[in-house]
Structure 1
Amino acid sequence: MRPVVVVSITAALLVGLSGCSDHKEKREYTVPRALCGIPVDSEALTPFLPGGREVSVKQTMANMWGVSCQVRVDDRPAVLTSLWWTNQPNTAAYVGSQNNSKLDHRAEGGRFLYSGWEGFGETRNCTSKKLLGARLFTAFQMYSADHQDAGAMKRLVTEYTNAAEKTDTCTSGKPFPE
């Protein structure tokens, strides 16, 4: 009789533990459709956002060279995205200043560099004469790195960078307002 009790207790524990591991906090907010004025594919962004009740999107930094936008869920940082004018010749040089980056994927000949939790992109034909020929680059960095998906990150940074190319900032080459 004793082995049956042990098996029953073990089975109950396994069922209970598997139920706990599959439980994720429910997402009760609407995923943003734009970050720092740039449209973003909410379906591509969704997998990287944690569950929670409230989401906020706030511009956290702006100067003539760039703008950063932070997504917070229940007042915890979740995503940081940036647009930067820089005189770097390509995405790899731009990313060189990101000392924590471990970018193990590339697309379009290195125009996009990304991993499962961050991505960087180079816009096409976005230069600023006012900023000595600087070119516009994009960045995504996830704070809630529980979810890592290189394919989803590629889609996110590619679509965001392509959307940035359609903005007045790109087409006019204007520095960002301070």
Structure 2
Amino acid sequence: MNSLRPYAGIRLAIAVTSSVALLVTLSGCSEHKAARHYALPHSMCGIPVDSNRLAPFMPSGRKLTVKYDTSDEWASFCEISIDSRHVVQTEQMWMTGGHDTSYFVGGQANSKLNHQAEDGRFIFSGWEGFGKTRHCRSKKLLNSELFTAFQMHSSDHQDADAMKQLITEFTTAVEKTDTCRKGKPFS
């Protein structure tokens, strides 16, 4: 009998360890689901977004705040904050000179943009994406073209496929606006 006792202790230790691990996992899951006390946005300042694609990037918190900025006629910014923490920003910007998306990105990328689609029309990473609209020109702004950006600022979640969908769908939605169709300046 004494030779079996050491194995009983090991079995008990394994059972306790497994139970504790399961409890921690389950409490973490329920805490994460309960931690988001705000409704996910369905648009970024009037431009539709897929909230299901956006959800994994969004942090826990209580209060969602939206800020729309059109301080000049060349650009507009839509910023979403959760509990005063800046989490996501979209941008629309008119640019002159017949440039491509990589020129538009310039120094504003916060991550390594190691993916592209449609021959460089869209450039993206797991956290952010940049695009160039089609047929959006503003004669009022020196025949400029309209570019877009979708950037996550406080997420540990990375998903290049989701970001590709977010930036392409956002850009397509921008192409359907009066800003694009009529070449309207922002302010």
SS of 1:109's partner is coil
What residue is the counterpart of 2:134 in the other structure?
124
Could you tell me the percent identity over the aligned residues? 49
Asked if 1:50 corresponds to 2:55, the answer is: no
Q: CA deviation at 1:47?
A: 2.2
Of 3, 19, 25, 2:10 maps to 3
CA RMSD of aligned residues (A): 2.1
Structure 2 gaps, min length 5: none
Instruction: Judge conservation of contact 1:70–1:77 (CA < 8 Å) in 2.
Output: yes
Q: Give the TM-score normalised by structure 2.
A: 0.83
Q: CA deviation at 1:29?
A: 2.1
Q: Which runs of 4+ in 1 moved over 4 A?
A: none
The 2-side partners of 1:15 and 1:47 are apart by: 23
Structure 2 counterparts to residues 99-138 of structure 1, below 5 A = 99-138=109-148
The 1-side partners of 2:67 and 2:142 are apart by: 29
Asked if 1:37 corresponds to 2:40, the answer is: no
The 1-side partners of 2:173 and 2:76 are apart by: 15
Deviates more, 1:29-38 or 1:147-156: 29-38
Q: CA deviation at 1:99?
A: 4.8
The 2-side partners of 1:103 and 1:96 are apart by: 11
**Which of the pair has more CA radius of gyration?**
2
The 1-side partners of 2:69 and 2:83 are apart by: 17
The 1-side partners of 2:47 and 2:22 are apart by: 45
The 2-side partners of 1:77 and 1:25 are apart by: 21
What residue is the counterpart of 1:93 in the other structure?
103
Instruction: Judge conservation of contact 1:121–1:161 (CA < 8 Å) in 2.
Output: yes
- Pick closer, same or farther for the CA change 1:53–1:175 going to 2, 3 Å: same
Structure 1 gaps, min length 5: none
* One-letter amino acid matched to 1:31: L
Number of aligned residues? 177
Q: CA deviation at 1:42?
A: 2.2
- Pick closer, same or farther for the CA change 1:21–1:4 going to 2, 3 Å: same
Write out per-residue CA displacement over residues 66-96 of structure 1, whole angstroms, 9 at most, x where no aligned residue: 0111111222211111111112511111112
Of 26, 37, 52, 1:19 maps to 26
What residue is the counterpart of 1:69 in the other structure?
78
Q: Give the TM-score normalised by structure 1.
A: 0.87
